[in-house]
């Protein structure tokens, strides 16, 4: 059992309850030094008691629960103490336990120990952080499915297939002169092709998975007074941006998040792009250009009731090669713009003030972002998983290309298959390094 660690497991700030968590060797004895109960503490029972200082003076009253290894979150002896959620009380408790032999836990260390002790695999450990940080109900459901092992149940059979193939190849090498069943060339090709096909299915979920977890960055751009702020408010379903007839009202970008079919959309209402000598507006335009570079999708807004201006076309030239939706606004006032100018781009007609065409625009935003939310789909792979899946696929495709055209030695074949299996093993944590674990768990909050 590892050295004892301690941390506050609830967010900082005043609250009704604050939780102090301990895990590791001898944590019950450490806790009992400062948390006094009338009865002997039994595993998985809640005991009322008093937290006292080094002199035995009461600090707070609360409840302690002891989880004996391996029946705990971390797989080690664990103690959780619920106290009143005053940050001073919680800090005092942590300091007392540190003085008795604990050390302050690193970010994600409780979950890291759960992984190292075999309580969960690496995809499930990642899902813990995703569940905590989920921005939408869809993101929560996806994280919960991954926590339950749905992604692992897709990855592990693929890796098992490759390891089985390695076993056949190795047996062929070691016992070539004996009568041991071996695979034909067509059987090898079929096995590897099936794995590649399954990897492809997982890779198709990557883009949507990224947007579910991180959100889509959407920049609303155009010249002043075309209705960008009205459109921003319409998408947000509230009056967040100031709307006036005065050009240059929005001098800096405004950013808010809206939930669109379970996808967090980061809406950015940018300053109108135009030539100006106003130093404040110049800074706003510069920031607008930066937001355009960062955006996954750009809404280029024009006033459909007025002819296009040189300023409209100058802005269009700046964004026309990006992932663009042309929004013809103010259609309630009539449309005089020749739409063929924007051939090749998605065009949506709206009236932001009258809430016309907004639903069509929302659907087009998801389509442009490449979001494919399928009802009942269990998993969407993350950026880390995508990278490893692509590397495994590349190795297998390279192997198949050579294997079909020439006689590949069993030793070389096994190296390729083993490399691909290792990439899949890295996804679930069968193959890992301290650097990989450090990168993953450093994103966790302390206490989880």
For 39-50, how does the pLDDT look when each residue is reduced to its tens digit (9 = 90+)? 999 999 999 999
Q: Could you tell me if 270 and 319 are in contact, meaning their C-beta atoms sit under 8 angstroms apart?
A: no
The last residue of one of the domains, among 308, 334, 369, is 369
Query: Can you read off the two tokens belonging to residue 111?
Result: 């979950």
- Please report whether residue 198 resides in a domain: yes
CA separation for the pair 143, 212 (Å, rounded):
10
Domain harbouring 334, CATH code = 3.40.50.300
CA separation for the pair 7, 69 (Å, rounded):
19
Residues 352 and 237 in one domain: yes
CA separation for the pair 162, 168 (Å, rounded):
10
Q: Which residue bears the tokens 């929005």?
A: 250
Q: Which domain holds residue 331?
A: 212-369
Residues 276 and 349 in one domain: yes
Residues 219 and 192 in one domain: no
Bridge partner residues of 263 (DSSP): 260
Residues 221 and 291 in one domain: yes
- Please report whether residue 448 resides in a domain: no
Query: Can you read off the two tokens belonging to residue 199?
Result: 């990897």
Tell me, what's the pLDDT at 114? Answer: 95
DSSP labels, 246-301:
STT---S-EEEEEEETTEEEEEEEPPP------HHHHHHHHHHHHHHHH-SEEEEE
CA distance to 4, 246, 259, 358, per residue, from 237 (Å) = 49, 23, 11, 10
Tell me, what's the pLDDT at 247? Answer: 45
Residues 216 and 351 in one domain: yes
Query: Can you read off the two tokens belonging to residue 302?
Result: 């024009």
CA distance to 312, 325, 392, per residue, from 234 (Å) = 22, 16, 44
The last residue of one of the domains, among 50, 72, 105, is 105
Regions of the chain short of the pLDDT cut 50: 240-252
The last residue of one of the domains, among 348, 369, 390, is 369
Burial of 435 (0-12, 13-18, 19+ CB in 10 A): exposed
- Please report whether residue 114 resides in a domain: no
Bridge partner residues of 300 (DSSP): 221, 326
Burial of 400 (0-12, 13-18, 19+ CB in 10 A): middle
Residues 315 and 424 in one domain: no
Residues 319 and 189 in one domain: no
| Greatest Cα pair distance in the chain | 88
Chain centre to alpha carbon of residue 19: 26
CA distance to 165, 392, 410, 438, per residue, from 177 (Å) = 19, 32, 15, 47
Q: What is the tally of structural domains in the chain?
A: 3
- Please report whether residue 375 resides in a domain: no
Q: What letter would DSSP give residue 321?
A: T
- Please report whether residue 338 resides in a domain: yes
Residues 141 and 288 in one domain: no
Residues 228 and 341 in one domain: yes
Residues 235 and 351 in one domain: yes
- Please report whether residue 119 resides in a domain: no
Q: Could you tell me if 78 and 102 are in contact, meaning their C-beta atoms sit under 8 angstroms apart?
A: no
Tell me, what's the pLDDT at 379? Answer: 85
Residues 316 and 240 in one domain: yes
Burial of 145 (0-12, 13-18, 19+ CB in 10 A): middle
Residues 198 and 326 in one domain: no
Q: Does pTM top 0.85 for this prediction?
A: no
pLDDT tens digits, 247-271: 444 444 578 888 888 889 988 877 6
- Please report whether residue 339 resides in a domain: yes
Domain harbouring 164, CATH code = 1.20.120.430
CA separation for the pair 157, 159 (Å, rounded):
5
φ, ψ (nearest 5 deg) of residue 206: -65, -45
Q: Return all residues near 271 (Cβ < 8 A) that are at least 6 apart.
A: 248, 250, 251, 252, 253, 281, 284, 285, 287, 288
């Amino acid at each position: 059992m590892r050295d004892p660690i301690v941390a506050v497991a609830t967010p900082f700030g005043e609250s009704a309850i604050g939780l102090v968590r301990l895990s590791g060797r001898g944590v019950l004895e450490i806790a009992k030094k400062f948390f006094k109960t009338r009865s002997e503490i039994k595993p998985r029972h809640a005991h009322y008691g008093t937290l006292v200082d080094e002199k035995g003076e009461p600090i707070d009253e609360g409840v302690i629960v002891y989880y004996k290894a391996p029946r705990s979150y971390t797989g080690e002896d664990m103690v959780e103490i619920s106290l009143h959620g005053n940050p001073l009380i919680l800090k005092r408790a942590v300091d007392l336990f540190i003085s008795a032999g604990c050390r302050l836990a690193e970010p994600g260390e409780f979950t890291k120990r759960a992984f190292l002790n075999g309580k969960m695999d690496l995809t499930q450990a990642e899902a813990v952080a995703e569940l905590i940080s989920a921005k939408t109900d869809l993101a929560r459901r996806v994280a919960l499915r991954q926590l339950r092992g749905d992604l692992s149940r897709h990855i592990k059979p693929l890796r098992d297939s490759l390891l089985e193939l390695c076993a056949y190849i190795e047996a062929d090498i070691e016992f070539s002169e004996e009568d041991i069943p071996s695979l034909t060339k067509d059987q090898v090709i079929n096995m590897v092709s099936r794995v590649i096909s399954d990897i492809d299915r997982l890779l198709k979920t990557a883009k949507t998975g990224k947007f579910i977890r991180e959100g889509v960055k959407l920049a609303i751009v155009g010249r002043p007074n075309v209705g960008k702020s009205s459109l921003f408010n319409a998408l947000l379903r509230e009056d967040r941006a100031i709307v006036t007839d005065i050009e240059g009202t929005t001098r800096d970008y405004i950013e808010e998040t809206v939930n669109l079919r379970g996808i967090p959309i980061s809406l950015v209402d940018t300053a109108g792009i135009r030539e100006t000598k106003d130093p404040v507006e110049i800074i706003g335009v510069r920031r607008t250009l930066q937001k355009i570079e960062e955006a996954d999708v750009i809404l280029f807004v024009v006033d459909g009731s007025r002819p296009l201006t040189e300023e409209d076309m100058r802005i269009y030239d700046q964004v026309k090669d990006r992932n663009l939706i042309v929004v013809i606004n103010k259609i309630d006032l009539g449309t005089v713009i020749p739409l063929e100018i924007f051939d090749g781009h998605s065009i949506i007609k709206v009236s932001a003030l009258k809430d016309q065409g907004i639903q069509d625009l929302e659907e087009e935003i998801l389509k442009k972002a490449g979001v494919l939310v399928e009802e009942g789909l269990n998993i969407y792979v993350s950026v880390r998983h995508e990278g490893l899946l692509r590397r495994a696929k590349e190795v297998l495709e390279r192997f198949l290309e050579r294997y079909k055209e020439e006689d590949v030695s069993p030793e070389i074949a096994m190296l390729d298959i083993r490399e691909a299996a290792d990439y899949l093993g890295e996804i679930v944590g069968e193959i890992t390094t301290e650097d990989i674990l450090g990168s993953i768990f450093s994103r966790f909050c302390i206490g989880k």
